[in-house]
Amino acid sequence: MILRLLFLLAILPCALLAKEEIPAETEPPKAVPDADDPQRLRGLIDTLNQSSLQEAFRLLTSDYINHENLDELEVNRAALQGMLKRLDFGAMLLTEKELSERDSPFSFHRATVADDTAYVRFGKFNREGVTELDKALEEFSETPELFNLIVDLRSPQAQAEFVIASEILSRFRPPNELLFKIRRPGNDRPTLFVSQPVANSWNKNLILLVNAQTGNVGEIIATVLKRETACLIIGEKTPGLTVEYRDVPIDEDRVLRYAIAEVVLEDDSSIFRTGITPDIITPTPYSSIHSIFRQTQGDRELKEFLVQKQRPRLNEAALVAGTDPEIDYFLLRSNNKPTPWDKPPLQDRALQQAVDLLNATAFLNSDD
């Protein structure tokens, strides 16, 4: 009885404390606004009228701690920098070298990557590329088993040639179809681009590969084909460069590139500065893509980059045969010599995913 009384006395304070209301936690202090947040800054500036903007410039150029550095030249430089940032892809300041680097260093490539799947990759979107496309489509038409075509639009490119975009689209669309329009400021009548009859065309399954290096011709092609055929697009989001640019030299080795016309679809919709979001987002390092592009222009086949070769390992079949497939690898390693498996294999994940998806679809649709 005494022990029970002592136990009750021991737990009584804990029970009383448990019944007390625990004070609510005070709200955490609100975060200080990030002065460098571009969206926040733009929102604040957009609410200012002309007089407020002029007053801000007056105060900064006269009362700022280092206002002597804010002369007219510096203010104009800041204004141009801010304008280019706001216009995003609408205008840009480039060097002659940067302009030349925007052109593709690759050539047209075609291949058969599976029994029922062909592949074409544009290098430069020019007349030669259209001729090579015709040759590829003619070659593919001679193989009735080819039902799928993967069109790779990930080559970097220079200025858009809208006629070339229209000619390429004519290989995938029926004649006399309105493909896209070019709308210019101050002109109520846009330029129309209509598909033309061609000798070689493709009207079977399509998969498109795109990424952030897909230029304006590639984006026009992808946008129109997606709208008209609902084809699958794999890769990464494109920048939205579907405009016509004008290049004007404004200084030694400085060129101002700015948009003067916009590409719109039949319903007047545009993807300028919006880009194309793939159906399946599959990031692939540009270094891997470019390396594969270069090597397939030589003597290596594209199929080599679609299947990852595993290092031979000891398994049940080797045990039954009394062999050790790993011995060559370990002999090279023990002698500090390079092996074929030291470097990770190059992979084009977007292309691999396209091929795997088509193979899986063919398997599911088979009668077996």
Q: Which domains does the chain have, with CATH numbers?
A: 80-309+349-368 (3.90.226.10), 312-344 (no CATH)
The CA distance from 293 to 108, in Å, is 10
Q: Identify the pLDDT of residue 279.
A: 97
The pTM for the full model equals 0.79
Residue 339 backbone phi and psi in degrees, to 5: -120, 160
Residue type, 302: L
- Distances 104 to 23, 82, 290 between C-alpha atoms, Å: 66, 30, 10
Q: Give the distance from CA 262 to its chain's centroid.
A: 20
pLDDT tens for the chain, 368 residues: list them: 443 433 444 444 444 444 444 444 445 554 445 556 778 888 898 999 999 999 998 999 999 999 888 899 999 999 999 999 998 888 999 998 888 777 788 899 999 999 999 999 998 899 999 999 999 999 999 999 999 999 999 987 767 689 999 999 999 999 999 999 999 988 889 999 999 999 999 999 999 999 999 988 999 999 999 999 999 999 999 999 899 889 999 988 899 999 999 999 988 999 898 999 999 999 999 999 999 999 998 778 998 888 777 767 767 776 777 777 677 777 777 888 887 767 777 889 999 999 999 988 888 887 65
Contact between 354 and 207 under an 8 Å Cβ cutoff? The reply is yes
